[in-house]
């Protein structure tokens, strides 16, 4: 294809959806992942693959990093066979993981030293919305980097939030959002576990909540499946455990006491310790219905 050349490192649920969205819309997309199962899915979708981050990076206009955390981001960019030194001067790196603002700033500075632009662009909305181009992107970067990559960004998202030029502000907004998502999910899971304990049908109770003041998007999205016993991971419990604790660390650095968030984060940590880490984050409902919440 003759469109802009884009690489995607990390083709998990979100990364693969983004890569296929761009490929479908005429971008020349290649990908890399360390998981053979994810690469097999890419091959099935006829998405070209490269053997290493460095091999992927050659001749790209933009590299999308869609791995899990800051350590993985640093490794794929600057580790053995890292992508950053292999990128052409003037190329852009789109940082999509949920990581600490300080990590975004540090990675951005290292990329700038190599003559590379960095866009701080955490994402939200899940793989279905990523595939449809309707997820949210929280974008912080200078205006030149944004304009050079506007077509790609707006192909990925019809809800692009421009947060200014300061790298790290995308990460800050994403952590605030994910802390609230964790609080909402923990609260909804607790409420439905209580409903079940007092003899109510949790599915019927959720019907009422969805049309009443207790409604939240994440409760409807996650707990409808959890009630049916479906904990196949769309978003792993480990991720909201990571993200809520990153948000608490940010709060502590700002001298802010996030007491409700602290309780929610403790529930995600308890769920991971109980063996639910690799299940969907709706596993909180299963944890609480068993009476294994934080006391």
Q: Do 37 and 156 have their domain in common? A: yes
Q: What is the pLDDT of residue 295?
A: 45
Average pLDDT over residues 245-259: 97
Looking at 25-115, list the stretches that DSSP marks H as alpha helix, in order from N- to C-terminal side.
Answer: 36-44, 53-57, 70-78, 101-113
Q: pLDDT by residue (tens digit) across 84-100?
A: 999 999 999 999 999 99
The residues annotated with a catalytic role in the active site are 174
Q: Is the pTM of this model over 0.75?
A: yes
| CATH, residue 186 | 1.10.1040.10
Last residue of a domain, one of 119, 139, 167: 167
Q: What is the pLDDT of residue 1?
A: 44
Instruction: Label residue 292 by pLDDT band (50, 70, 90).
Output: low
Helix (H), strand (E) at residue 144: helix 143-148
Q: Do 22 and 158 have their domain in common? A: yes
| CATH, residue 79 | 3.40.50.720
Q: Do 115 and 44 have their domain in common? A: yes
Q: Do 124 and 227 have their domain in common? A: no
Which phi and psi (to 5°) does residue 140 adopt? -130, 125
> Does residue 81 form part of some domain?
yes
> Does residue 294 form part of some domain?
no
Tokens 């219905």, located at residue: 289
Dihedral of alpha carbons 200, 206, 209, 214, sign: positive
DSSP 182-249: HHHHHHHHHHHHHHHHTT--HHHHHHHHHTSTT--HHHHHHHHHHHTT----SSBHHHHHHHHHHHHH
Which phi and psi (to 5°) does residue 209 adopt? -60, -40
Q: Do 12 and 153 have their domain in common? A: yes
> Does residue 21 form part of some domain?
yes
Q: pLDDT by residue (tens digit) across 107-139?
A: 999 999 999 999 999 999 889 999 999 999 999
Q: What is the pLDDT of residue 181?
A: 96
Q: pLDDT by residue (tens digit) across 168-210?
A: 999 999 999 999 999 999 999 999 999 999 999 999 999 999 9
Q: Do 157 and 18 have their domain in common? A: yes
Q: Do 202 and 147 have their domain in common? A: no
Instruction: Label residue 293 by pLDDT band (50, 70, 90).
Output: low
Dihedral of alpha carbons 225, 260, 175, 154, sign: positive
Q: pLDDT by residue (tens digit) across 36-69?
A: 999 999 999 999 999 999 999 999 999 999 999 9
Q: What is the pLDDT of residue 126?
A: 87
Q: Residue 161: which domain range?
A: 5-167
Q: Do 28 and 159 have their domain in common? A: yes
Calpha distance 118→170 (Å, rounded) = 12
Task: Give yes or no for residue 158 having a pLDDT over 60.
Answer: yes
Q: Do 131 and 52 have their domain in common? A: yes
User: Count of domains in the chain?
Assistant: 2
Beta carbons of 137 and 123 less than 8 angstroms apart: yes
Counting residues of the chain whose pLDDT is more than 70, the rounded percentage is 98
> Does residue 108 form part of some domain?
yes
């Amino acid at each position: 294809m003759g469109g802009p050349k884009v690489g995607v490192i990390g083709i998990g649920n979100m990364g693969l959806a983004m890569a296929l969205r761009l490929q479908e819309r005429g971008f020349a997309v290649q990908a890399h992942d360390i998981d053979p199962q994810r690469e097999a899915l890419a091959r099935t979708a006829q998405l070209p693959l490269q053997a290493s981050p460095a091999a992927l990076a050659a001749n790209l206009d933009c590299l999308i990093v869609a791995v899990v955390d800051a350590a993985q981001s640093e490794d794929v960019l600057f580790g053995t066979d890292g992508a950053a030194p292999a990128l052409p001067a003037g190329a852009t790196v789109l940082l999509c993981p949920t990581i600490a603002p300080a990590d975004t700033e540090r990675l951005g500075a290292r990329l700038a030293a190599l003559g590379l632009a960095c866009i701080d662009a955490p994402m939200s909305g899940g793989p279905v919305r990523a595939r449809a181009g309707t997820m949210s992107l929280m974008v912080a970067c200078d205006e030149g980097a944004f304009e050079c990559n506007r077509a790609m960004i707006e192909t990925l998202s019809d809800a692009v939030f421009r947060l200014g030029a300061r790298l790290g502000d995308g990460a800050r907004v994403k952590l605030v959002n994910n802390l609230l998502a964790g609080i909402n999910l923990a609260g909804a899971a607790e409420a439905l576990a209580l409903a079940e304990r007092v003899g109510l049908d949790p599915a019927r109770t959720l019907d009422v909540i969805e049309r009443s003041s207790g409604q939240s998007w994440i409760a409807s999205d996650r707990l409808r499946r959890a009630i049916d016993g479906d904990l196949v991971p769309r978003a792993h419990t480990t991720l909201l455990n990571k993200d809520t604790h990153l948000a608490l660390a940010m709060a502590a650095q700002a001298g802010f006491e996030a007491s409700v968030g602290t309780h929610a984060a403790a529930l995600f940590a308890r769920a991971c310790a109980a063996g639910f880490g690799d299940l969907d984050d709706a596993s909180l409902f299963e944890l609480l219905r068993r009476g294994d919440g934080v006391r």
